[in-house]
Amino acid sequence: MAVGPFGSVTDAKWKYQAQGYWMKILVLSWYFPPGNTIGAIRVGKLAKYLHERGNDVRVVAGRHWDLPETLPLEIPADRVHYSNFTDINWPRDVLRRLYDRLAGGAAPQAAPARSTGPAGGRDEASPLTSSLRCLSDLYTHALNLPDNRIGWLPWAVRDAKRISRRLRPDLIYASGPPFTCLLAGHLVSRQTGVPWIAEFRDRWVDDPYNDYPQWRTNLLARLERRVVASATGVVTVSEPWAEFYRAKFGKPVATIYNGYDPQDFAFEPDDGILPPSDKLTITYTGVIYSGRRDPSPLFEALKLLGPDRQRCRVVFYGSAPDLVRPVAERCGVGDLVEVHPPVPYKESIQLQRAADVLLLLQWNDPKEQGNCPAKLFEYFAVRRPILGLGLEDGVPAKFIRERSAGFFSNDPTLIAAQLRSWLAEKERNGFIKSLPPEAREGLSRAVQFEKLEHFIGECLASAGARRAGARR
The last residue of one of the domains, among 126, 143, 160, is 143
Same domain, 340 and 275: yes
Which pLDDT tens digits describe the chain residue by residue (472 residues)?
333 333 344 444 434 443 444 899 999 999 999 999 999 999 999 999 999 999 999 999 998 888 889 999 999 999 999 999 999 998 888 877 777 776 665 444 444 334 333 333 444 456 777 777 788 888 888 999 999 999 999 999 999 999 999 999 999 999 999 999 999 999 999 999 999 999 999 999 999 989 899 999 999 999 999 999 999 999 999 999 999 999 999 999 999 999 999 999 877 666 555 555 789 999 999 888 887 899 999 999 999 999 999 999 999 999 999 999 999 999 999 999 999 999 999 899 999 999 999 999 999 999 999 999 999 999 999 999 999 999 999 999 999 999 999 999 999 999 999 999 999 999 999 899 999 999 999 999 999 999 999 999 999 998 887 777 666 6
Residue 218 CB neighbour total at 10 angstroms: 12
Same domain, 268 and 345: yes
Please give the tally of structural domains in the chain. Answer: 3
Please indicate, yes or no, if residue 472 is contained in any of the structural domains. no
Please indicate, yes or no, if residue 279 is contained in any of the structural domains. yes
Q: Which domain holds residue 413?
A: 262-440
Same domain, 181 and 328: no
406, 357 Cβ separation under 8 angstroms: yes
DSSP string, 192-233: H---EEEEESS-STT-TT----HHHHHHHHHHHHHHHHT-SE
Amino acid found at 201: R
Same domain, 253 and 272: no
Same domain, 80 and 100: no
* pLDDT computed for residue 118 by the predictor: 34
Same domain, 309 and 398: yes
Same domain, 38 and 117: no
* pLDDT computed for residue 137 by the predictor: 84
* pLDDT computed for residue 126 by the predictor: 66
Task: Give how far Cα 177 sits from Cα of 39, 124, 142, 184, 230, Å.
Answer: 8, 32, 19, 12, 18
Please indicate, yes or no, if residue 425 is contained in any of the structural domains. yes
Same domain, 119 and 160: no
Please indicate, yes or no, if residue 228 is contained in any of the structural domains. yes
Same domain, 200 and 271: no
* pLDDT computed for residue 119 by the predictor: 36
- Reference 332, options 359, 290, 297, 302; nearest CA is 302
Find the DSSP H helices in 58-152: 90-103, 127-143
Please indicate, yes or no, if residue 291 is contained in any of the structural domains. yes
Same domain, 331 and 459: no
Which CATH number characterizes residue 321's domain?
Answer: 3.40.50.2000
Please indicate, yes or no, if residue 79 is contained in any of the structural domains. yes
* pLDDT computed for residue 472 by the predictor: 62
Same domain, 59 and 181: yes
Phi, psi of 209 (to 5 degrees): -75, -15
Please indicate, yes or no, if residue 220 is contained in any of the structural domains. yes
Please indicate, yes or no, if residue 310 is contained in any of the structural domains. yes
392, 409 Cβ separation under 8 angstroms: yes
